[in-house]
Amino acid sequence: QDYHAIRWLQENVQGSPVILEGQAYEYRWGNRNTIYTGLPGVVGWNWHQRQQRAVLRNNIVQERVDAVNAFYTGVEPQAVQNFIKEFDVSYIVLGQFERIFYPGPGLEKFEAFDGLLWEEVFRYEDTVIYRVLDD
């Protein structure tokens, strides 16, 4: 399913919009969309970001990881909107990885906010990509 989502992003997304996808510990399947499309993500590969930002206060990358985790598990509409605005998110991935890594009521918001905060632009089996709607 990820292959089809990645191919859709490669073929249909222009420029460098920020995409949101689930975070994983190093050497897991997180960041697969940013890795294979070259599109920027909210965090990037966790360990690489920590290495590149070693001169900064050491929890800045973890704060972004925590923010991504809170986005996927959260249910509050205002927190969702604040996250999207703060990180300038244009596309959101909800794939098999996200469904496994973030089980619970937070996933219900994707269908609930479809047409309000974002719109479904790609679906292949359990994998969906949403495009964030302009304000």
DSSP tag of 134: P
- Half-sphere exposure in the Cβ direction for 135 (13 Å, CA): 6
- pTM for the full predicted model: 0.88
pLDDT tens digit sequence for 73-110: 999 999 999 999 999 999 999 999 999 999 999 999 99
- Helix axis angle, 60-73 relative to 77-87, nearest 10°? 140
pLDDT tens digit sequence for 4-34: 999 999 999 999 999 999 987 665 656 899 9
Positive or negative: CA dihedral 87, 79, 45, 54: positive
Please tell me the distance from the alpha carbon of residue 4 to that of residue 6, in angstroms, as a whole number.
5
Residue 122 in 3-state DSSP?
strand
Please tell me the distance from the alpha carbon of residue 60 to that of residue 88, in angstroms, as a whole number.
17
